Copies of this chain bind each other. A is one copy, B any other.
């Protein structure tokens, strides 16, 4: 089935030059006589010759490949990041290799090994186990081992030596969310957060309490609800719980957009509506926020810019530079339609 593989030597022979010359031509090396260059190119075209990247990588110790780990691209947050990163990597002459780990430590570890075997030149860690606190020991060890061999870039705040951290500013995002709701007159504000062992939960929680305190607002203990899964399911159940309280909140901040949307479904199922009965804020400003009615207010980031920063750090580290060890990416509140002003009278 397969036609005999043709190599750089075959090209060289037919073009009557040495293999090295062909190699130079293919690499656009300047020091080749135009005449020979043309002769070579003609043969290359004729056979549609493509150099074997494996051999190239082996000999040059240069795979031009970057690996990326994320829990699941089905999540729009990660797919947006990956898609943007892939473009950035391509523009920089690199290939991005994505692996879904479903946040399973064994899978994350297995994939890290695999990527190292494949001679990835850098690793980008995005979500998943990297955000667990405390960090599973074996996972941390593997990351450490990776970081010893190649630049590792964390899209979170992975506290591992020689690992570049480029996390989002969850703390400030939450601060903005709370302040915004307060500015609309809300005082009974709830927080639908994820598992406590997740870093983002911890950061947002801290910001939530501290900002509420700064505003002299009371945090009702029952308003801080842990959802088991970061999806609509989680949001749905969490919101149901909130609505069953004798005195429910008037506004809800969810750990991410999916959760917020789940909360909205619960609200609708109970015959209430957003933002009339409950104001709602999500995180990450994924495109999902535009699919629901009313459009969901959320904390947004520039995915393209974020991707450029991530890939930029990886690429510059590959070329031996030292990127900043920590760069925090700000979030911006993107106000849409899911929150409304509330008046003191309504509070009763």
A148 partner residues in chain B, CB cutoff 8 A: 2-3
Structural contact, B74 and A150, CB atoms closer than 8 A: no
- Some 20 contacts from A to B, beta carbons below 8 A apart, are A1-B162, A2-B148, A2-B150, A53-B114, A54-B58, A54-B118, A72-B83, A73-B73, A73-B83, A74-B79, A74-B80, A74-B83, A87-B100, A97-B97, A232-B291, A261-B291, A264-B293, A268-B293, A288-B288, A291-B292
- Decide if A36 is an interface residue (CB 8 Å cutoff): no
From A44-52, A203-211, A216-224, the one touching the partner chain is A44-52
Q: Is the interface of A mostly helix, strand, loop or mixed?
A: helix
Bitwise interface map of A from 125 to 155 toward B, beta carbon under 8 Å scored 1, else 0: 0000000000000000000010011100000
Q: How far is the CA of A98 from the CA of B90 in the complex (A)?
A: 12
Q: How far is the CA of A72 from the CA of B79 in the complex (A)?
A: 9
State which of B51, B99, B232, B265 has its C-beta within 8 Å of the C-beta of A117: B51
Structural contact, A53 and B117, CB atoms closer than 8 A: yes
Structural contact, A53 and B119, CB atoms closer than 8 A: yes
- Decide if A172 is an interface residue (CB 8 Å cutoff): no
Structural contact, B149 and A3, CB atoms closer than 8 A: yes
Having A73-B82, A264-B293, one finds 19 other A-B pairs with CB under 8 Å, namely A50-B113, A51-B117, A52-B58, A53-B118, A54-B54, A55-B58, A73-B79, A74-B76, A74-B80, A86-B98, A86-B100, A95-B97, A97-B97, A232-B290, A261-B291, A265-B293, A288-B288, A292-B293, A293-B293
Structural contact, A119 and B48, CB atoms closer than 8 A: no
Structural contact, B287 and A2, CB atoms closer than 8 A: no
User: Taking the full assembly, how many copies of this chain does it contain?
Assistant: 2
| Partner-B contacts on A (CB < 8 A) | 1-3, 48, 50-55, 57-58, 63, 72-74, 76, 79-80, 82-83, 86-87, 95, 97-100, 113-114, 116-119, 145, 148-150, 162, 232, 261, 264-265, 268, 287-288, 290-293
- Would you give the shortest CB distance from A307 to chain B, in whole angstroms? 12
Structural contact, A117 and B73, CB atoms closer than 8 A: no
State which of B51, B118, B145, B232 has its C-beta within 8 Å of the C-beta of A95: B118
State which of B2, B51, B145 has its C-beta within 8 Å of the C-beta of A149: B2
Structural contact, B119 and A54, CB atoms closer than 8 A: yes
A50 partner residues in chain B, CB cutoff 8 A: 113, 116-117
A1 partner residues in chain B, CB cutoff 8 A: 162
A3 partner residues in chain B, CB cutoff 8 A: 148-149
